[in-house]
Copies of this chain bind each other. A is one copy, B any other.
Amino acid sequence: MALDDLPVPVFPKPVTLRDVAAQAGVSVATASKALNDQGRMTAETRERIRETARSLGFRPNGLAQSLLRRRSFTVGLLTNDTYGRFSLPLMSGISDALVDAGVSVFLCNVEEDQRLGQLHVEAMLDKRVDGIIATGKRIDRHLPVDLANLRVPVIYAFTQPDPDAVAFVSDDGDGARLAIEHFCRLGRKRIAHVSGPASFAVVHERAQAYRAVLTENGLPVIEPLLGSWSEAWGHEAVARLFDGRGKKPDAVFCGNDQIARGVIDALRERGLGVPNDVGVIGFDNWEIVAEATRPPLTSVDMNLAALGREAGLTLLSLVGGKSATPGIRKLPCRLVVRQSCGRLPDG
């Protein structure tokens, strides 16, 4: 038995329009028209050409078409959030919007590497992408690439945009507002806020909305507790909130779902019931966490997929030659109600 006898796969040479034309006994031009529903010819010829194309398994070479049309039906997607959970729904929304237009997506992960980023952008440009979408994991940090004055339209989604660019971000103030108003409707009176590090812009945005809604409702504002985005911090925050003397909170609005989980666990350890004694709301609506807490966690969802869709559609219209108003557009959040807040009094 022969060694070194691996079946070297030989790939069939692609069928070209020329092949189809020859086979059908017409010129390339006629074949092209037949397949693109252009020009005039007898229905019979058209059908015959179509049939030969089909039988030969002809597929037009997209490179040739793009070269001619000056449009590759391809957009570049830049991200620095390979492992995060934000980019995925975002991307899914983007692809979604683009697929319907027959546009494919080049995925490029740039990490924090300036050089790599620039390299990727050039590669995209060289491949003649129709446009570029930049996404990230936080809206107050810029990707490590310069996207100003490119030869193609650029859209920012969930990342810090260049000035005068078109950008979409979640409205974190709106998200916080939804949460606090939900608590108010449920009759909670002492609502605390446990959030992430002060270095995040959203932390302040949410805290501000938290204060505003409480004031509007004549409820006391408890100074927000800022820490890290971890369960451990949620734990610790509960100690700080409940150890002191004075009135205890009957609701906690958390900066993310992991903090919320820490809070819920800590409350249980203290013999405090959720939602009966204390209501809890999280942020991000990370299902894997929100559904594992006991009870399941009510949480603010940033609608990232919708945000991605919006970004994709806007890019498409830009590519189509329309113009879009520059500036940052904030998209509303949505409260996903589970069981960590209890029911309406009259519910």
Contact = CB atoms under 8 A, between A and B. Distances in A.
Given A82-B92, A106-B107, A323 B7 contact: yes
Interface of A: 6-9, 11-12, 14, 59-64, 66-67, 72, 74, 77, 82-83, 88-89, 91-92, 95, 99, 102, 104-109, 116, 120, 122-128, 151-153, 230-232, 258, 288, 292, 318, 323-326
A88 B82 contact: yes
A96 to B, nearest CB: 9
Question: What does DSSP make chain A's interface, helix, strand, loop or mixed?
Answer: mixed
Contacts of A95: 107-109
B323 A9 contact: yes
A74 B127 contact: yes
Nearest to A107: B107
B106 A104 contact: yes
Contact of A67 (B63, B105, B152, B232): B63
A264 to B, nearest CB: 12
A91 B77 CA distance: 14
Nearest to A286: B288
Nearest to A4: B323
Contacts of A9: 153, 318, 323
Given A7-B323, A231-B292, A67 B61 contact: yes
Given A99-B120, A104-B124, 15 more contacts: A6-B324, A6-B325, A61-B67, A62-B128, A67-B67, A74-B106, A83-B92, A88-B88, A91-B107, A102-B123, A104-B108, A104-B120, A106-B107, A107-B107, A230-B292
A318 B6 CA distance: 13
Contacts of A14: 151
A6 B232 CA distance: 49
Contacts of A323: 6-9
